[in-house]
Amino acid sequence: AAPSEATEPLTERVEQALGTAFERLWRDRSVQALSLGEQAAASLGVGDARLPGNVDTYISSYFRHVAELSRESVYQGHQHAILCRMREDIVSGDSSGNIRELNERIKRVEINDRDLQAEIATRMKIVEKRPGRAGCAA
């Protein structure tokens, strides 16, 4: 078999295994964190998170979404590192493959991560003090 045929299925298997591992890791952590969050809310006497329109529910879901975006960004970072290593292997002659396709995949991962980071930054932005507004007097 040609080297490209031998490395291609291996690359796909590695990517599939990595994707499965991250999915299991983050899914399990999200369920566990949600359970712990509900327990903490109950112990503190904070409102029932199951009631629709509850402020606590909104805040919880908002930051849960930020956490999901952050996990996806971490995954994109790992994808980027793997793809860069694969490109280095091709350039050094240790493996064969289509460098143009690999560069396109790296570019897509970089764009996806930039978009994720921008959305996270937007969601985490704290309302800035407007110019001309006085602070609280003590």
What pLDDT score was predicted for residue 131? 60
Tens digit of each residue's pLDDT (9 = 90 or more) over 79-124: 999 999 999 999 998 888 899 999 999 999 999 999 999 999 998 8
Q: How many Å apart are CA 119 and CA 26, to the nearest integer?
A: 19
Q: To the nearest whole percent, how much of the chain has pLDDT over 90?
A: 36
Domains of the chain by residue range: 20-123
Q: Please compute, for residue 26, the number of CA atoms within 13 A of its CA located in the half-sphere on the CB side.
A: 17
Q: Over 70: is that where the pLDDT of 44 sits? A: no
Reported in sequence order, the residue ranges of the chain that DSSP labels E, i.e. its strands, are none
Provide the pLDDT for residue 56.
81
Predicted confidence at residue 96, as pLDDT, reads: 87
- Answer with the residue of higher pLDDT: 76 or 23: 76
Judge if pTM exceeds 0.75: no
Cα separation, 128 vs 133, in Å, equals: 11
**Residue 12 pLDDT:** 75
CA distance 112 to 101: 17
For residue 66, count other CB atoms closer than 10 A to its CB.
Answer: 14
Contact 73, 113 (CB under 8 A): yes
Residue 86: its pLDDT value, please? 93
Which pair of structure tokens corresponds to residue 2? 């040609």
Question: For residues 14 and 82, is the Cβ–Cβ distance under 8 A?
Answer: yes
